[in-house]
Amino acid sequence: MACRISELVIDCADPDRLAAFWSEVLGYVELGRESDGSIEIGPPGAGFGGPQPTLVLSPSSDPRAGKLPLHIDVNPTDRDQDAELERLLALGARRADVGQTGAENWHVLVDPEGNEFCLLRRRLQPL
């Protein structure tokens, strides 16, 4: 193996808000803050360089919401898809209509700043 993804960086208007949202979604904790206002979150006890990539929420005066060239897919680990969908909606996610037919086995959602992500059906084992 030559490389591994260590971080995903998301430009956003409100790093605190998105860090709180994605920490709840993924079970992550705050790992650090940079002088530019960036907040890094990641798995508790593992942090940067662990088996899962960390997220860096980077402040931007021009964040792009909606369909990004890269988006995040999440899978439930300790409940079924329907229960996880309800949890994500309660955290502030919203449903997004991108032309789904209703036959898909995933849900398209947006985070509090409007960035699309998908909740997949398959339940994964927690790390």
d(CA 58, CA 66): 17
119 burial level (CB within 10 Å; 0-12, 13-18, 19+): buried
pLDDT at position 111, please?
Answer: 95
Residue 75: which of 112, 118, 43 has the closest Cα?
118
SS3 at position 16: helix
- 66, pLDDT greater than 70: no
pLDDT at position 71, please?
Answer: 80
| CA distance between the termini of the chain | 20
Residues of the chain with pLDDT > 70, as a percent, come to 94
Q: Which domains does the chain have, with CATH numbers?
A: 1-61 (3.10.180.10), 64-127 (3.10.180.10)
Q: Convert 71-93 to b/e letters by CB count within 10 Å (16 or more is b).
A: ebebebeeeebeebbeebeeebb
Average pLDDT over all residues of the chain: 90
pLDDT band of 50, cuts 50, 70, 90: confident
Task: For 76-109, write each residue's pLDDT tens digit.
Answer: 999 999 999 999 999 999 999 988 898 999 999 9
pLDDT at position 16, please?
Answer: 97
